[in-house]
Structure 1
Amino acid sequence: MNISRTAVPLRAGCQTFTWEMLGAVWRDRPDELLASIAAAGYSGVEITDTMIGDYAGKPQAFGRALDRHGLTLVAFACGSASGFTEEAALSQDLAMAERAADFTAAFPGALLSFGSATVMSEGPRDAKFATAAQFYEEAAERGRAAGVDVAVHPSSHHDTLLLTRADYDALFALLDPQRVGWVPDTGHILRGGQDIFDTLRTYRDRIRYLHLKDVDAAGQWQMLGAGVCNTRAVVDIVAAAPRFNGWLVLEEESEEARRDPAKAVGKNRDALRDLGV
């Protein structure tokens, strides 16, 4: 049985963080990542600023590498040591955002994704939300000037500012949904104890593309389909979102992925085929 579709076709992409978890051994090897992702049957890739390697600032060269492997750039994902919550780092972070937008602009349809606001120092949470919102809004303006759509990707990792539904509500209340999109991540939403269906429906107009991951009832990472995430129901909700671009990006963080990233992302691709994607 296939997942119900809208006018936007569903496409499978892969996020390079699966390899980034392994540390420096995989840095500066983007061609090997692209080869593994293409061999697993994905048609798109979301690459991080950490894993872009020697292609950083070289969009034409990276475009040729994508072409060699038959891949489309879904998104360029960027983070910062500031966690986007340090006011003193705002100008530096925005300069990075402008460079990233210029890079992403070379790939029609690709988005610029910024990581989760993260608590990096002591201070009032309200002030950190305000700083993060200012960054995301002003980064989106840099993206608009370059012709690139910008989105935020909340996570459940250590010291994230964006874990619970209350956290999502607090940030999204400060962001213009027409300017700053959202990349929901099924695993991170579930690890935050949220009602995933309600969160997705409430903020559906912000959704640009989707990260698919799975966890067990205790919040431990599992391979797609081995945990509690109802992937079919999630995709049905997201597929109806008005600005969803059709990309389902798989990002695997389980122990199986740590042992063999290429094999793990291949198994996840098979799981999506079972759903008709």
Structure 2
Amino acid sequence: MTDIRFACQTYSWQMTVDAYRGRLDHMISVSAKAGFAGFEPEVVMLGEDWTASGLRSQLADHGVQLAALCLVEEWSGPHETAAEAAEADKVIETVAGIDGAVINLCQFPGADRAQLRARQDNLLSCVDAVSARAEAADVHCTFHPNSPAGSVFRTDADYAYLLAQLPERIGFTPDLGHLAKGGMDPLEVVRRYRDRVDHVHVKDMHADGSWARTGEGIIDIPAVTRFLAETGFTGWIVLEDESPEAEADPDRAVARNGAYVRDVLEAVIR
């Protein structure tokens, strides 16, 4: 048996953000019906006037846990802006009241990779500051790199620098799709940095680099899941789908991902 738990991320809905932003009850309800035990919203999907109490209440109504709250910021300077710090503090305060939830830190990609090392170091400085305040509130942070062309941590060399410099208090969230998009073998990267891996994102990719429906691409998701189970992983595996089909019908994509968890992933960890 394993303590691995599966959660739903909100990105399938975020691809048509204006149609779903603030519709927390809908997204949590669809996730619950799909069989997910956990839910990971990006802050942008909570709407303009979201509150910690409102989030907790809607999760409780559907019997779903908050796996993580995903905070995405520019973090382009050596220090947080006032607005970035205020948003981070609101997220810290929210997660501090929810047992077992973490903050998943992710950076908006830039337009290019100019001045790469300075931008990498600025990001590291900002997430260090956020994680220090979170630790003081007994909240754990983990960092999620991504793979668009302007991302500052997207290649194997970037990941080596990231994991060498990332403060120990911050975990590592590998995203299997972003790893593959960055030219890496997802299983090999998860193996290499397993001691830092505390949260995992899953999406699939076709050989041509386009996003695939979960289980229909080239990423060996069951192999990564099996390895995590065999090495005692106790965190959340969070499912996403960024395929064109998911953008057209995110509710259906979430239902498909729930079925994939039940039919494929749960079988490999029993």
1:36 is aligned to 30
Using the size of structure 1 for normalisation, the TM-score is 0.89
Cα shift at 1:89: 4.4
Partner Cα distance (1:213, 1:199) in 2: 15
Percent same amino acid at aligned positions? 32
**Which of 106, 128, 152 in structure 2 is aligned with 1:137?**
128
Residue matched to 2:195:
205
How does 1:248-259 map onto structure 2 within 5 Å? 248-259=237-248
Partner residue of 1:108? 99
Question: 1:72 maps to which residue?
Answer: 65
Give 5+ residue unaligned stretches, structure 1: none
Letter in 2 for 1:143: A
Q: For residues 179 and 64 of structure 2, what CA distance do their matches in structure 1 show?
A: 28
Work out whether 1:188 is the aligned partner of 2:181.
no
Counterpart-to-counterpart distance in 1, 2:86 and 2:107: 18
- Give 1:167's aligned residue: 158
State whether residues 85 and 118 of structure 1, in contact with CA within 8 Å, keep that contact through their aligned partners in structure 2: no
> Is contact 1:14-1:37 (8 Å) kept?
yes
Root mean square deviation of aligned Cα: 1.9
85-94 vs 225-234, which moves further: 85-94
- Name the counterpart of 1:60: 53
Give the drift of 1:95.
3.3
- How far has the Cα of 1:122 moved from its partner? 7.7
**Distance of 1:255 and 1:123 partners within structure 2:** 30
SS at match of 1:257: helix
SS at structure 1 position matched to 2:41: strand
Deviation at 1:236, TM superposition (A): 1.9
Shift of 1:23: 2.5
Structure 1 residue 94: Cα displacement: 3.1
Q: TM-score, normalised by structure 2?
A: 0.92
Is contact 1:60-1:106 (8 Å) kept?
no
The answer to whether the Cα contact below 8 Å between 1:112 and 1:151 also exists between their aligned partners in 2 is: yes
Deviations 1:176-203 (A, max 9, x none): 2x31111111111001101222211111
The reply to whether residue 227 of structure 1 matches residue 203 of structure 2 is: no
Change (3 A) 1:150 1:128: same
Residues 109 and 160 (structure 1), Cα distance of their counterparts in 2 relative to 1, 3 Å cut: same
Partners of 2:33 and 2:26 in 1: CA distance: 11
Aligned with 1:113: secondary structure?
A: strand
Q: Is contact 1:85-1:117 (8 Å) kept? A: no
SS of match in other structure, 1:204: coil
Which residue number in structure 2 is paired with residue 245 of structure 1? 234
The AA in structure 2 aligned to 1:71 is V
Indicate the SS of the match to 1:239: helix
Q: Which amino acid aligns with 1:185?
A: D
Say which SS state the counterpart of residue 174 (structure 2) adopts: coil
